[in-house]
């Protein structure tokens, strides 16, 4: 996965966004000139409005609806992922919306937890050198601006529980089933 260098200030440039269908419902994707910056689940009208307000505040630039340009490749790769033909995303990421410990954890997750595998919150904390920070890892997962591409659905509880998920537990189950970690739902 390609990563951009850490950013210390937010650019006031154009943010391109689009809502695209997926096997888990509509997703809102947004990208800056640095790369994909946001993936949002369940992108109905209310979620879309809140997300666009948040992006406008964060970046201060123009928001442009466009499924081509900066979003063409992320959209193509997400479709391939849901069709079962893609196991690793290779898109530029803009890490502007995440900092500090959360960025460290999410980068480790993106680089170190491949398709079809899971990791515990505590294990991920140990991987970033903070073995007592399992709860903080959970908070980092909850603030992940790039779910799916930075696969927070692959983080589970050490006792075998599925753990939480910002996109909802049913969405997490479906993603883990798609990757072969859980059996496909019967219904």
Is 152 an annotated catalytic residue?
yes
Tokens found for residue 81: 């992922």
Burial label, 150 (beta-carbon count in 10 A; 0-12, 13-18, 19+): buried
- Catalytic one among 152, 156, 175, 178? 152
- Dihedral of the alpha carbons of 35, 15, 20, 173, in degrees to the nearest 10: 60
Write out the catalytic residue numbers: 152
């Amino acid at each position: 996965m390609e990563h951009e260098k850490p950013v210390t200030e937010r650019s006031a440039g154009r943010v391109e966004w689009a809502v695209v269908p997926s096997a888990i419902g509509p997703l809102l994707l947004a990208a800056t000139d640095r790369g994909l910056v946001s993936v949002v689940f369940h992108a109905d009208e209310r979620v879309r409005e809140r997300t666009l307000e948040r992006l406008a505040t964060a970046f201060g630039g123009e928001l442009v609806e466009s499924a081509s340009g900066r979003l063409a490749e992320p959209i193509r790769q997400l479709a391939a992922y849901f069709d079962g033909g893609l196991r690793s995303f290779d898109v530029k990421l803009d890490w502007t919306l995440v900092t500090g410990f959360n960025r460290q954890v999410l980068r480790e997750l993106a680089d170190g937890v491949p398709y079809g595998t899971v990791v515990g919150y505590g294990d991920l904390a140990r991987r970033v050198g903070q073995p007592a920070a399992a709860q903080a890892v959970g908070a980092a997962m909850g603030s992940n601006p790039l779910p799916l591409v930075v696969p927070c659905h692959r983080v589970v509880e050490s006792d075998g529980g599925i753990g939480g998920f910002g996109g909802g537990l049913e969405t997490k189950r479906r993603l883990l089933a798609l990757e072969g970690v859980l059996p496909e739902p019967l219904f």
